[in-house]
Amino acid sequence: MTLSILDLAPVPSGRTAADALRNTIDLARRAEEYGYRRYWVAEHHFAPGVASSAPAVLIGLLAAATSTIRVGSGAVQLGHQTPLSVVEQFGLVDALYPGRLDLGIGRSGQRRAEPAAAPAKPEKRESRTVDGLLIPPPFDWSRLAEHPHLAHYATLLQQPGAQTPDFAGQIDDVLAFLAGTHDAPAVPGEGADVQVWILGSSGGQSAQVAGERGLPFAANYHVSPSGVLEAVEAYREAFKPSDALPEPYVVVSADAVVAGGEARARELAKGYGLWVRSIRTGAGAMRYPTSREADAHVWTQADRDLVRDRLDTRFVGAPEQVAERLRVLRRVTGADELLVTTITHDHEDRVRSYELLAEAWNRP
């Protein structure tokens, strides 16, 4: 199976974080039944609509609830933790559920402060289509620097005065702790059968580090669709074979909603634009709205511009429609595997979306 799942443990409007976590555990069981390869959970903070704030804790619960599917993080924000603490957390879970863990790591904890420190406008680019795949213009992340809470949030994620080391050095520490070659032992963690991944949204440091260390790489089409081709190209150019990975291995993420027909899928997908808007205004992901709540929002042109790239690159439709568009994404990016995120207000709609997609993807 070359499809996997990235879950944010979304909290629907009118529901609680406990509801969201129960849904995530149920969905992981169903994903294993449907044949998905991996089940990853994200790390998000200060978001009323996302319950996955502590990936290692949630991964332990998922490993206990499943038997064969790989479980992991997409991604741990290493800027908020030390390499030792991360290795110990994942080593603890691996000690009880060996050989099933993926430790996906991202720079987002470091990148959070960068727009505030030195906001930069993205280069001007027009939307383009590459062999059937839409590549929209870059999103202007400097807009988040305008949010009054951004700097305060950053201080809450670290001890006062703490400074995050360079990302490459942190990855080297993670690998050394796992291999037992560090000058200090990580217990549990040393010798753990944990696969380390790097996640990235551009051709920058994340892609370079993943390639140079011979690690698998996940490129975020669902977060930053404009940079996916540069990200996978930079990774492959930088790649050096390692004992664990003789050739480059790429996963590409995508947002999708599948239903029995296109009209129904579009109805289920209505809340997405409002949800993305809440993230990109810097307020943090809201509780995922119903279709009726989404319809009630009065959209301005500024709102539409804020979310256009995410809406235009989401895969919504009947099973064969979405499967075919995902095959285009895989072909154009050369991905070895796709990582699918599906969010709907009602849990059973989300479960059914993944079931229909798996059936269509595996159909000859």
How far, CA to CA in Å, does 255 sit from each of 151, 185, 262, 300? 29, 39, 15, 24
Q: What is the pLDDT of residue 152?
A: 83
For residues 111 and 154, what is the distance between their CA atoms, to the nearest angstrom? 10
- Looking only at the bridges linking them, the beta strands covering 337-341 and 133-135 are unpaired
Q: Is domain 3-362 in CATH 3.10.110.10, yes or no?
A: no
Cα dihedral 250, 251, 254, 257 in deg (nearest 10): 140
Output 140 or 36, whichever has higher pLDDT. 36
Q: How do the domains of the chain map onto residue ranges? A: 3-362
What are 4's strand-pairing partners? 339
Q: Identity (one letter) of the amino acid at 140?
A: D
Output 103 or 162, whichever has higher pLDDT. 103
Q: Which stretches of the chain are assigned E, i.e. beta strand?
A: 3-7, 38-41, 70-73, 76-77, 101-106, 128-130, 133-135, 194-200, 217-219, 250-258, 315-317, 337-341
Tokens at 141, concatenated: 């992340």
For residues 246 and 91, what is the distance between their CA atoms, to the nearest angstrom? 24
Q: What is the pLDDT of residue 71?
A: 98
Model confidence over 37-62: pLDDT tens digits?
999 999 999 999 999 999 999 999 99
Instruction: Please answer whether residues 103 and 76 qualify as being in contact, where contact means their C-beta atoms are separated by less than 8 angstroms.
Output: yes
- Is the bond into 64 cis (omega within 30 degrees of 0)? no
Confidence band, pLDDT 50/70/90 cuts, at residue 153: confident
For residues 221 and 237, what is the distance between their CA atoms, to the nearest angstrom? 19
Mean pLDDT of the chain: 93
Judged against a pLDDT cut of 80, whether residue 120 lies above it is answered with no
Q: What is the pLDDT of residue 121?
A: 54
Q: Identity (one letter) of the amino acid at 188?
A: P
pTM of the model: 0.95
Q: What is the pLDDT of residue 338?
A: 98
